[in-house]
Amino acid sequence: MRTLFQHSLTMTDRNLRRLWRQPTWIVVSLVQPVIYLLLFGPLFKSITKIPGFQFPSYIQFLAPGVLIMTAFFSGGWNGMATIDDLNRGVIDRLLVSPLRRSAFFIGHVLQTSLSIIVQSTIIILLAYILGAHFSNGALGLLIVFLSAILLGGSLNAASNGIALLVRREETLIATLNVVLLPLTFLSTAFMQQSLIPHWIRVISRFNPLNWAVEAARSAVNPGTNWSQVGEHLGLLAALLVVCMAFATRSIRAYQRSI
């Protein structure tokens, strides 16, 4: 247990240093959510005039959606780093060391979690400046962070696992594009649940991104449905466990293929 903990910290440290040395990547990941918030806000402003829209401003509605979507993509694209490590022989060198296999993925998940916390803080501050009001105080925000981290962490583990299975950059990009973007639109990230088509609403119930969006949005708006928030967080936690199990198994599959 102690070894697992230390290996996880060592890998997190390594991933953070690596991120730190790629400043362009940091800038992009910070600017992107800001752009979403600043562009989508005005673009969909008149949505508030649709009968049945329950939020006082679109920013109020959109902020949790953009925040979760950012975490979703941050985690989801992390497999690219693993492809790079594979090509450079870094993975092979790690695999012939006593590194605990799960620590490899925990290291990535923790690094993504820290990135998500920074990104989310920026989005929340900006949304606040743009006039959003967050209910439930610290507890509400805590749930927002938690759902973002659980979702981003799951996607991170899944993405790194897929990277080890497909081993090729183009295949990973294609796979992620096919999965990530549709899931974003099959959710209530940009549109209130009661205003989206019935079939999307049905699908969105099985969409992890939607679990996180709904939990986060409900937690910081009046009339929080706590039992539903709990249910969504539970589902996200289960997803993280499943994704970690898949990722750890992908290492063995990779070793069998070489």
Partner 1 sequence: MSTPEQQNGYAIEAESLVKIYRGGIRALDGIDLKVPAGSVFGLLGPNGAGKTTVVKIATTLSFPSSGCVRVTGFDAARQPKLVRQAIGVVGQTSGVDVNLNGRENLRLQGLLRGMRGRELKQRVDELLDQFGLKESAKRVARDYSGGMQRRLDVATALVHRPQILFLDEPTTGLDPEVRTEMWQEIERLTHEEGLTILLTTHYLEEADQLAADLAILDRGKVVATGSPEKLKAELEGDTVHVELHEDAPDGAIRSALDGVAGIRRLDHDVNCLRARVDHGARAVPLVLQALESNGLAVESVSVSRPSLDDVYMSYTGRDFSLADEEGARRQQQTQRTER
Of 4 and 142, which has the nearer Cβ to partner 1? 4
Alpha-carbon distance 211 to 72, whole Å?
12
Who's near 205: CB < 8 A, 6+ residues apart? none
State in Å, rounded, how far the first CA of the chain is from the last one: 29
User: Could you tell me which of 168, 210, 172, 216 has the C-alpha nearest to residue 193?
Assistant: 210
Alpha-carbon distance 232 to 117, whole Å?
19
Of 80 and 237, which has the nearer Cβ to partner 1? 80
Encoded tokens for 70: 């950012």
Rg of the Cα trace of the chain?
19
Alpha-carbon distance 244 to 258, whole Å?
22
- What's the min distance (Å) between Cβ of 77 and partner 1? 17
- Interface characters, 197-236, with partner 1 (x: CB under 8 A): ----------------------------------------
| Contact present, 109 and 12 (Cβ < 8 Å) | no
Alpha-carbon distance 82 to 111, whole Å?
13
Q: Which of the residues 18 through 57 are near partner 1 (CB under 8 A)?
A: 18, 21-22
Q: Does 129 bind partner 1 (CB under 8 A)?
A: no
- What's the min distance (Å) between Cβ of 213 and partner 1? 33
Sole window of 26-34, 132-140, 214-222, 250-258 interacting with partner 1 (rule: CB under 8 A): 250-258
Alpha-carbon distance 240 to 153, whole Å?
7
Residues that contact partner 1, how many (by CB under 8 A): 27
- What's the min distance (Å) between Cβ of 252 and partner 1? 9
Quick one: which of 4, 17, 31, 230 contacts partner 1 (CB under 8 A)? 17
Sole window of 16-24, 137-145, 147-155, 182-190 interacting with partner 1 (rule: CB under 8 A): 16-24
- Interface characters, 79-108, with partner 1 (x: CB under 8 A): ------x-xxxx-xxxxxxxx---------
Sole window of 7-15, 38-46, 129-137, 175-183 interacting with partner 1 (rule: CB under 8 A): 7-15
Q: Does 255 bind partner 1 (CB under 8 A)?
A: yes
- What's the min distance (Å) between Cβ of 97 and partner 1? 5
| Contact present, 147 and 54 (Cβ < 8 Å) | no
Q: Does 7 bind partner 1 (CB under 8 A)?
A: yes
Of 34 and 99, which has the nearer Cβ to partner 1? 99
Encoded tokens for 242: 């499943």
| Contact present, 169 and 255 (Cβ < 8 Å) | no
User: Could you tell me which of 100, 120, 90 has the C-alpha nearest to residue 3?
Assistant: 100
- Which parts of this chain interact with partner 1 (CB under 8 A)? 3, 6-7, 10, 14, 17-18, 21-22, 85, 87-90, 92-99, 168, 255-258
